[in-house]
């Protein structure tokens, strides 16, 4: 117990300093992307002077802090309390009546059977939603939170309801990552692609690094930069608007003593991470590999929620618009190197929105592994100054079902801070089993 409390105190102390804002250096493999003028998409014209009253807009996006699984600030917090806190926040901060929400869709990955749906439904009750508001869960592994937001946007666009919540929850303290498939079909042995599908994600990270020449030093440098940027963002108070402080308890495993705490800061960040420290770590998946605990995303606990509605409804209520949902795409990729997903998902989402890479001001790309993050940035020739400007999952943590919704909160609040100079942003991630997802957002008028 004392270690977890001490970790939060030490982190806050470190973050009172001023970490350097160095940029990570990614050698660029040029991939030409034709600049295109914003045109029509499935969400209407992307023209500020011709906004459509039927646009799907984001009114609020909040998250909990993200904490280390099993030993962080949430290790003794029921997962439904995490979700309840953010569901309650998006309603209370906008004065939207809970009874008006057409559906709550929650991305969540690891819990068996219907267990997590039960928790999510309970969380809605704890947050003050009446029994008339339905809840469902969605699981597309690492993109589940973003998929939840996209599902709600699609349902609003289709006219099924005017107001909905896309959310995400993962409690990896309790639910462990499954490393083997139970009762696999014997046909797997006859199909090479199916065998690749069953590879552990760490091995696919090694495959990608070897196939595309991503070095250990590049991966470690990306990790250092992720921690530096996350620490600097925390020091500057950039996460305060998106994080909902959560009063909870922490229990000493030896004595059973309980202490009340308020978790309001991400406790996975290591502000003093250096290349020298990371170089000492042994490979986690292959003896001569390059993927380590230090250049991979962290197993963690967290939740996030995004409130969406039709623009017409938001205007009628005079609610400030944080962002506009413009497009979403998922793609399938080679399961043996599943980390390449964003390389294909981002262009697909941009095409749907009528945009090109040159139109995008900010990117949030999930750092599942530094190997795939580095490769995707290099392949798409992205400007490092536009990517994960406040750090990513290597520093912040990757609570699988929550990450996509967390990225929405992080991206839109950063776009709000930057104002008129930041119009479009993209969120993307690779997905276990060999897929990729991406979404395009436009800054709102807040």
The rounded distance, in Å, linking the Cα atoms of 442 and 325 is 7
Sign of CA dihedral 136, 426, 296, 300: negative
Residue 142 annotated among the catalytic residues of the structure: yes
Nearest to 441 by CA among 423, 420, 418: 423
Catalytic residue among 142, 268, 377, 422: 142
Classify strands 104-107 and 135-138 as parallel, antiparallel or unpaired: parallel
Give the H/E segment covering residue 62: strand 56-63
- The contacts of residue 276 (CB under 8 Å, 6+ apart) are none
Which residues on adjacent β-strands are paired with residue 82? none
Return the number of other C-beta atoms located less than 10 Å from residue 265's C-beta. 19
Residues 6+ apart with CB under 8 A from 316: none
Q: How many CB atoms lie within 10 A of CB 50?
A: 8
Q: State which H helix or E strand residue 120 sits in.
A: helix 115-126
Rounded Cα distance, 191 and 203, in Å: 18
Q: What are phi and psi of 223, to 5 degrees?
A: -65, -45
**Quick one: tokens of 438?**
């991406």
Judging by beta carbons within 10 Å of its beta carbon (0-12, 13-18, 19+), is residue 382 exposed, middle or buried?
Answer: buried
SS3 of 135-146: the string is: EEEECCHHHHHH
> Residues 398, 407, 413, 422: which is the catalytic one?
398
Cβ neighbours for 410, distance < 8 A, ≥ 6 positions apart? 63, 239, 242, 364, 390
Buried b (16+ CB within 10 A) or exposed e, 417-427: eeeeebbbbbb
**By C-alpha distance, which of 307, 308, 325, 265 is closest to 72?**
265
Report strand pairing: 362-365 vs 135-138. Answer: unpaired
Q: Give catalytic status of residue 398 as yes or no.
A: yes
Question: Strand, helix or coil at 170?
Answer: strand
Which active-site residues does the annotation give? 142, 398, 430
């Amino acid at each position: 117990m004392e270690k977890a409390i001490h970790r939060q105190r030490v982190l806050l102390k470190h973050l009172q300093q001023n970490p350097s804002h160095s940029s990570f250096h990614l050698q660029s493999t040029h991939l030409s992307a034709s600049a295109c003028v914003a045109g029509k998409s499935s969400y209407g014209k992307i023209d500020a002077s011709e906004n459509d009253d039927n646009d799907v807009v984001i009114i609020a996006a909040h998250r909990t802090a993200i904490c280390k699984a099993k030993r962080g600030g949430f290790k003794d917090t029921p997962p439904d309390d995490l979700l309840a806190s953010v569901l309650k926040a998006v309603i209370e901060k906008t004065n939207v009546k809970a009874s008006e929400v057409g559906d709550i869709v929650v991305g969540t990955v690891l819990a068996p059977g219907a267990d997590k749906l039960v928790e999510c439904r309970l969380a809605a009750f704890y947050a003050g939603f009446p029994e008339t508001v339905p809840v469902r869960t969605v699981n597309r592994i690492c993109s589940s939170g973003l998929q939840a937001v996209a599902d709600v946007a699609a349902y609003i666009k289709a006219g099924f309801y005017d107001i909905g919540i896309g959310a995400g929850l993962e409690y990896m303290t309790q639910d462990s990552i499954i490393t083997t498939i139970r009762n696999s079909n014997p046909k797997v042995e006859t199909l090479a692609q199916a065998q690749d599908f069953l590879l552990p994600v760490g091995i696919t990270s090694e495959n990608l690094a070897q196939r595309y020449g991503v070095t250990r030093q590049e991966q470690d440098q990306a990790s250092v930069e992720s921690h530096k940027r996350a620490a600097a963002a925390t020091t500057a108070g950039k996460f305060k608007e998106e994080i909902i402080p959560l009063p909870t308890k922490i229990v000493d495993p030896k004595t059973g003593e309980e202490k009340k705490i308020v978790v309001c800061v991400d406790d996975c960040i290591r502000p003093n991470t250096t290349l020298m420290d990371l170089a000492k770590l042994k490979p986690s998946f292959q003896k001569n590999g390059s993927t380590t605990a230090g250049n991979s995303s962290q197993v963690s606990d967290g939740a996030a929620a995004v409130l969406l509605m039709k623009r017409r409804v938001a205007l009628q209520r005079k609610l400030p618009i944080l962002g506009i949902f413009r497009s979403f795409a998922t793609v399938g990729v080679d399961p043996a190197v599943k980390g390449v997903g964003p390389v294909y998902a981002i262009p697909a989402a941009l095409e749907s929105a009528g945009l090109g890479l040159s139109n995008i001001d900010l990117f949030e790309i999930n750092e599942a592994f530094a190997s795939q993050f580095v490769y995707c940035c290099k392949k798409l020739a992205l400007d490092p100054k536009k990517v994960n400007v406040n750090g990513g999952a290597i520093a912040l943590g990757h609570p699988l079902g929550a990450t996509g919704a967390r990225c929405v909160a992080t991206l839109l609040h950063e776009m709000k801070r930057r104002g008129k100079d930041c119009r479009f942003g993209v969120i993307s991630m690779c997905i276990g089993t060999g897929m990729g997802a991406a979404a395009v957002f436009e800054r709102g008028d807040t």
